[in-house]
Structure 1
Amino acid sequence: MLEGQQPTIWGLSIAFLVIAIVAVVLRFYARRIKSQKLGPDDWTVLVALILSIGVTVNLLIMTQMGGLGTHQQYNADGSIKNPKAFLVFEKTIFAFEVLTWPTVGVTKISVVLLYQRIFATPRFRNLCWVMIAINCAWTITFTLALTFSCLPVYANWDDSIDSTCVDLKALFTTALATDVTTDFLVLFLPVYKIWQLQMSTARKVVIICMFLLGGLVSIVGIIRIHFLTQVYDALEVELQFADTTWIYSQVYYWQIIEVNVGVLSACLPTLRPVQDRFTRNLSFTHLRGSVRKLLSSSSQSHKVSDVRLDSMEEGLNRKFDSQSMAQRSEQQGNYLRYNERV
């Protein structure tokens, strides 16, 4: 039975994971629609999704078996009432943090690889390589720093042994602050290049806004910094009877939102073909139904109606095909052929 904040954690975890999975599936479907080969950006976001699934499953184990989202219970002598569950909580915290940073880093690398796919100029591609190197260095640095934040490593979940640990509050705050900084660097990297595209200003604004939706991840990261600061402040006050499994809840469900929204944001710019196909099918279905209704009500002969309907459907198909060809021809003059590369 779920207690306290556990229903919220389960609901948010599953909902955002499903959204991330759907986004990646639609991204691969969009490549198939346009008959495009899968590139490094697609495979990298798939790796990010796999890591995100691992992070989410880990959080659910922490919740179900480790008691995350419930109040910590103590005996009169100050010992924990359920030490086995708390051991699971401590181990899953360690795994959760170690998995989170590669997930975030790989997601941002996928976004930059997408920029390289879209914008073919050598100078911009070199700038993307610099950004990829920065994200790789950030990911490796903080993953290793968190893994070896206490020595020996198993001291991360066993407080009874002698160990040497870094200042975790400073480590996490630095990791999150630099995470948000690299988020903004990645977000604004393509704005200038998009503005150079030979298309209408309205279309440019739409594309820029679509890319900047990734800013949602940065907002979540800032929220997480706020809650993490509160957690460590509370732990410093309540040294002996800290309600650890309760106060970590908000930090971790915001963290699970961040990793899955990151995957979603990385996929959004690639979903235009799916939108176009859906819009076309929806429009065609509506017109087809209207034509059938009109002919059925006005025609005296059902056979004649079917002939007219088939003829008009064929005409509608030709119309949609010609419109698609016209749209493609219009984009041929674009400097970077944006719609063909996304």
Structure 2
Amino acid sequence: MYSSYSVAAAVCSCVFPALSIVAVGFRLRARLMQKLKLGLDDWLVLVALALAFSYCCLVLYGSFNAGIGQDLSTITPGDYANYQKHLYFGVIIAHLSYGFVKLAVLQFYKRIFAVHRFVLSANIIIVFVLIFMVVATFTQIFSAWPISNWWTLGKTYTINYGAFLTSFAAIDLALDIIILCLPFPVIRNLQVDRNRKFLLLGIFSMGFFCIVATSVRLYFGYKLSEAGSGRPVSDEEFSYVSVNNVIWAEIESCCSVIAACLPTYGPLIRSLSFPEFLASTWRSLLNSVRRTSNVQSSRHDQKDSWYPLSENHGNSTTVENNSQVGLTEYDGIRLQRSFATEVGGPAVV
């Protein structure tokens, strides 16, 4: 018989990866509708999805074959070793997934907000995210030495493992908050009415559910740190805390992928004939970002500028491209409203 915790972990391992796959599918569909190549942020999302999916598969298999969610007092030493191996590799995969989805969001920001100061801030955060990924991965790998101590009954970690989970969950939470709040000042300065600003802020704030998931994971990490510091903990309580930490890690990794995809659905919204209010809001966002970018980037190199979709940048001749989507006239120039940027090429609206 499998415990209710094992069943809960198995259900989450099926539901949330499926939702994240659908979300990424919609993102790719939106790109294909614009007849554009995948950008760096799209590839990073695909890597994050692959890692999140791998982690969920690992938990799904472990729920039925490695004792994940079972009362530790009921499993054999061999099952315990298998259980610990799943946790060991699962934490590595999960931390990499968190990092790649953060990089994807930051690259997406850089693609649509071509403001020098904003891009500089995003690049600084990218450096911190990369450091976080490397440190978290190596700390997990060498949290026990030799590494086989991790799944050997009676052996201990070289660190307080619960404290490690707690501290890195706190850092992860802080980075999520910073990244989600990063575009707010730019949106606040857009030349659109207040209602549309609130709608745009809402679109870019949908990732706050990931903050909830990280906060819950932080709580259960803290409970594990209490066990690691010597507080008496029953096998049943430890199993409860451990499996909840695993479940919320799954939820966070998958929901982060979903949240990273939501702001890219503009072409889908327009194609599905959503209310004109929503469609016009997306158009206003792109046009306002372009105006803001031109003002800011006039003081910097042209690599930070927004250019018309024309070989002669600034030429007011008509662009002959029947595959373009969402064309509009702006100061005599026919432009394409799009979130896309060719790798190594100019940003395009």
User: TM-score, length-normalised on structure 1?
Assistant: 0.77
Structure of greater Rg: 1
| Contact 1:67–1:245, Cα closer than 8 Å, also in 2 | no
Identity of aligned residues (%): 25
Q: Which among 251, 257, 261 is matched to residue 255 of structure 2? A: 261
1:50 aligned counterpart, secondary structure: helix
Corresponding residue for 1:329?
328
1:84 pairs with 2:78:
yes
Corresponding residue for 1:36?
36
1:276 pairs with 2:274:
no
| Contact 1:66–1:86, Cα closer than 8 Å, also in 2 | yes
Report the Cα offset of residue 234 of structure 1.
4.8
1:340 aligned counterpart, secondary structure: coil
Amino acid across the alignment from 1:255: A
In 2 relative to 1, CA 341–17 (structure 1 residues): closer, same or farther, beyond 3 Å?
same
1:112 pairs with 2:106:
yes
1:198 pairs with 2:203:
no
Distance 1:224 1:153 in 2: 25
Which structure carries more helix by proportion?
1
Distance 2:264 2:245 in 1: 30
| Contact 2:80–2:153, Cα closer than 8 Å, also in 1 | no
| Contact 2:7–2:63, Cα closer than 8 Å, also in 1 | no
Distance 2:202 2:157 in 1: 46
| Contact 2:206–2:259, Cα closer than 8 Å, also in 1 | yes
1:67 aligned counterpart, secondary structure: coil
Q: For 1:228-239, what aligned pairs fall within 5 Å after superposition?
A: 228-234=221-227, 236-238=230-232
Corresponding residue for 2:22?
22
2:73 aligned counterpart, secondary structure: coil
Distance 1:133 1:104 in 2: 15
Q: Deviations over 1:11-35 (max 9, x none)?
A: 2221111110011111011011122
Corresponding residue for 1:69?
69
1:168 pairs with 2:167:
no
Distance 1:221 1:52 in 2: 15
In 2 relative to 1, CA 25–329 (structure 1 residues): closer, same or farther, beyond 3 Å?
same
1:126 pairs with 2:124:
no
- Structure 1 spans left out of the alignment, 5+ residues: 75-80, 282-324
Corresponding residue for 1:10?
10
In 2 relative to 1, CA 280–180 (structure 1 residues): closer, same or farther, beyond 3 Å?
closer
1:247 pairs with 2:241:
yes
| Contact 1:217–1:262, Cα closer than 8 Å, also in 2 | yes
1:131 aligned counterpart, secondary structure: helix
Matched residues, number: 288
| Contact 1:45–1:110, Cα closer than 8 Å, also in 2 | yes
| Contact 1:68–1:246, Cα closer than 8 Å, also in 2 | no
2:328 aligned counterpart, secondary structure: helix
Distance 1:164 1:14 in 2: 31
| Contact 2:63–2:69, Cα closer than 8 Å, also in 1 | yes
Corresponding residue for 1:300?
none
1:329 aligned counterpart, secondary structure: strand
| Contact 1:61–1:92, Cα closer than 8 Å, also in 2 | no
Q: Deviations over 1:71-94 (max 9, x none)?
A: 2235xxxxxx52222111000000
Distance 1:130 1:237 in 2: 40
1:73 aligned counterpart, secondary structure: helix
Report the Cα offset of residue 241 of structure 1.
5.0
Corresponding residue for 2:287?
none
| Contact 2:5–2:70, Cα closer than 8 Å, also in 1 | yes
- Structure 2 spans left out of the alignment, 5+ residues: 276-323, 341-349
Distance 1:29 1:207 in 2: 21
| Contact 1:214–1:266, Cα closer than 8 Å, also in 2 | yes
Q: Deviations over 1:255-274 (max 9, x none)?
A: 10000000000000001211
Amino acid across the alignment from 1:59: V
Report the Cα offset of residue 201 of structure 1.
2.5
Corresponding residue for 2:179?
186
Corresponding residue for 1:306?
none
Q: Once superposed, what is the RMSD of the aligned Cα atoms?
A: 2.5
Amino acid across the alignment from 1:207: L
